[in-house]
Amino acid sequence: MAALHEPLAFYAGDSWEIEVACHYADGAPFNLGAGAAVEWSLSDAKGNVVVSMSLGAGIAVLDGAATPPHRCLITLSPEQSAALAAGEYRDRTVATDPAGLVSTQAVGAIRVKK
């Protein structure tokens, strides 16, 4: 169930942390347990993907003890964010549960400042 997140703003050259709580369409926690996948992308104003992350490579599951785990943290390093020009971007978080159900979880605007 895709949620439009509040507009975010970050400085290029800073560490970025974006937390996403994932849910099924019925509101139940989305299963990010063993076998799940999460992908995050940041696109420029022309729709070109300029940064992408995946589970284990910039994305970590946060709920070690939750059943099922359903929150993740997307982290960009200062080096990754420094490469971005100031301006308006759009992001998208897509999760796949262990059974193979694919769901866009969050989308929204991100402003990069220099």
**Domains of the chain, CATH where assigned:** 3-113 (2.60.40.1220)
> d(Cα 103, Cα 25) in Å, to the nearest integer?
9
Res 3: pLDDT = 87
Rounded to the nearest 10°, the torsion over CA 80, 37, 1, 30 is -120
Cα(6)–Cα(59) distance, integer angstroms: 20
Cis amide prior to 68 (ω within 30 degrees): yes
The pLDDT tens digits of the residues spanning 48-106 come to 999 999 999 999 999 767 678 899 999 999 999 999 999 999 999 999 999 999 999 99
* Predicted pLDDT at 67: 76
Q: In whole angstroms, how far apart are CA 67 and each of 33, 34, 43, 59, 64? A: 8, 12, 32, 19, 8
Half-sphere exposure of 53 (CA within 13 A, CB side): 23
* Residue 1, pLDDT score: 54
pLDDT tens per residue, range 22-49: 999 999 999 999 999 999 999 999 999 9
Output the pTM of the full model. 0.94
